[in-house]
Amino acid sequence: MIKVAQLSCGTEYSGVQAEIEKAAATVGAKMVYPDVDAKDIESAVEKFGFNPTSAQLKLMIARAVAITEGKYDADAVFISSCFRCAEAALIRNELRRWIQEHSRLPVVTYSFTERTKSGQLLTRMEALVTIVERKELLARERQVGLTAGIDSGSSTTKALIMRDNEIIGKFWHPTGEVIQCAEEALEKALLEAGVNRNQLEAIGVTGYGRFTIGKKLKCDLVQEELTVNSKGAVWLADRQKGEATIIDIGGMDNKAITVRDGIPDNFTMGGICAGASGRFLELTAKRLKIDISELGAMADKGDYRKVPMNSYCSIFGIQDLVTSLAAGHSLEDVAAAACHSVAEQIYEQQLQEIDVRHPVIQVGGTSLISGLVRAVGNVVGQEPIVPPNSQYIGAVGAALLSSGFLEGHR
Amino acid sequence: MKVFIVPPNSLILFDLVERYGHEPLSLMGAIHERVTNPEIESPPINVTPEDVKKGLKYAGIEVPSGIRGRLAVWGPLIDQADAAIIMEDAPFEFGCVGCHRTDEMVRYYIKKRKIPHIIVKYPTNEDEAKIMVARIKEFLEGLK
């Protein structure tokens, strides 16, 4: 049983504690609360160097210090506090850094509201467990044999075939009925690869539809997208060694993952607001009467500074866009502003919670929108690397990791 | 008279209020009702999102949920209190495991209700302790 140490403030009184424990139990983990002696709390706070006013935050600090000093045994750490609490937000972030500097434990941070349900925490908990349980598998740098990867995302379903560390077939299309879409994508990818399904030695699946597809297709690997995507990203970008930050702006949620030698050591997942997602850019393209594939080039020609647009909501974001068009701004400037708005919100909502390490690798379908990549580059201070086939990271990661299940781990 | 105590889980204040013939309004008392509910596991995990909604009476939607959850339990106690004792600077071991933002709101509500209240500092030595108890005794005996 994986022991996840919980460092939190407010979870009991927010009514979300049961949901946290439910999410952990679903992925075979157990939440534990490191014991600390009351007399050690002040000294731990002094050692940590940040003395918050809230007593429960002091307890969080003492628990973190106890873990990093080896006084309490845990496999991973979950740091959580109320959404909007400024003092807790400061402590949350600094504690995460402290644990990462003083241990090799994987950490995930989350700010919750009383509406937080176990489903929202599941991917994060699953990733924590995967990092602990499958470290050897995650360390794989080469794909072997003939394997397939399927990524059943909220917007698109991708399938990809690999043979001996090379991509030989791929296909993507919009997600509808998950099984049917996965089957079709896989068949088309197999067709391009020129191989039959029964020749496949292993299949890996990730994304929202992973459990359903995994069961139906009898997949060898059914794994959440945080660890799978980071593996896919470092393979595609040829950055297997060293540090990097992976930014994946998805159709429904966003991921920012830091990796060390290809293994995630911190990640944050958004999804509260569609204004910071690929969905908003789809709506923008629709309103500008262009195909989403044309949006990036159009944004490249525009100047985002000419159009005020910074909304936390896709609906109000579109309202800004309509107003700007009505005021006579060019389509190019509006497209650039929409891309910039998404990048800014990724920065505000997610990148503040992780240490952005260079290089930044931008992946996912939205990485094909050049205007968005440029906007992300502006906010992180360096042009991100967009590897070839960047929209296939999940499928690549799944094909690569599933090859680890082949006999003898060739 | 009903006397609300801050920190609301203080056993010392609870005992003093009872000793001088009043009814302490404490977190232990509020949680007791929930603990006797068969669906409840252990306090304060028994605070549910429904409670947090009730906390909206005391703090708006933009306030962190943990504060609203705490106020859902403590707020009704302040509403029924005839008086209050607030102890400031209580150390961790005292039993005040909590959120400072909630503490600020609780003090504010007590003052807003304009009920008789006394603010004492947590004593750091025996002499201060004697003075504190004497002040609380005088306050409680003066309540009519």
Q: What is the pLDDT of residues B111-129, one digit of tens each?
A: 889 999 999 999 999 999 9
Which of A8, A13, A92 to probe by mutation at the B interface, max B CB count within 10 Å? A13
| Amino acid A353: pLDDT | 67
- The pLDDT-based confidence of B74 (bands split at 50, 70, 90) is very high
Closest chain B residue by Cα to residue A57 = B99
* Host H or E run for residue A304: none
Q: Is the pLDDT of residue B42 over 60?
A: yes
Return the percentage of chain A with pLDDT > 90, whole number. Answer: 66
Contacts of B13 (CB under 8 A, 6+ apart): B5, B6, B7, B24, B26, B85, B87, B136
Per-residue pLDDT at B96 exceeds 70: no
Q: What is the residue type of A59?
A: L
CB atoms within 10 A of CB A328: 6
* The pLDDT of residue B36: 72
**The pLDDT of residue B97 is above 80:** no
Question: Chain B residue closest to A21 (CA)?
Answer: B45
pTM exceeds 0.90 for this model: no
Q: Is A381 left (phi over 0), alpha (psi -120 to 50) or beta?
A: left
Contact A41/B at CB under 8 A: yes
User: Contact at 8 Å (CB) between A403 and A140?
Assistant: yes
The reported pLDDT for the residue numbered B3 is 98
| The predicted structure's pLDDT at residue A24 | 96
> Are A85 and B97 within 8 A, CB to CB?
no
Strands (E), A29-188: 29-32, 76-82, 107-112, 146-152, 156-163, 166-174
Whether residues B93 and A53 touch (CB distance < 8 A) is answered with: no
0.85 surpassed by complex ipTM? no
Distances (CA, A) of A333 to A8, A278, A279, A298: 43, 18, 19, 8
As a whole number, the mean pLDDT across chain A is 91
Q: Hey, are the CB atoms on A42 and B63 less than 8 Å from each other?
A: no
Angstrom distance (rounded) from CA A296 to CA A195: 35
Exposed / middle / buried, residue A35 (Cβ in 10 Å: 0-12, 13-18, 19+): exposed
Say which range, A147-161, B2-16, B30-44, has the weakest mean pLDDT.
B30-44
Cα–Cα distance measured from residue B23 to residue B138, given in angstroms and rounded to the nearest whole number = 16
Cβ atoms of A246 and A229 within 8 Å: the answer is: yes
Distance between CA A130 and CA A18 in Å, rounded?
Answer: 22
Among A73, A42, A72, smallest CA distance to A58 is for: A42
With CB atoms and an 8 Å threshold, state whether A54 touches B93: no
Determine the average pLDDT of the residues in B42-60: 79
Q: Which residues of chain A have pLDDT under 70?
A: 271-273, 310-312, 352-353, 407-410
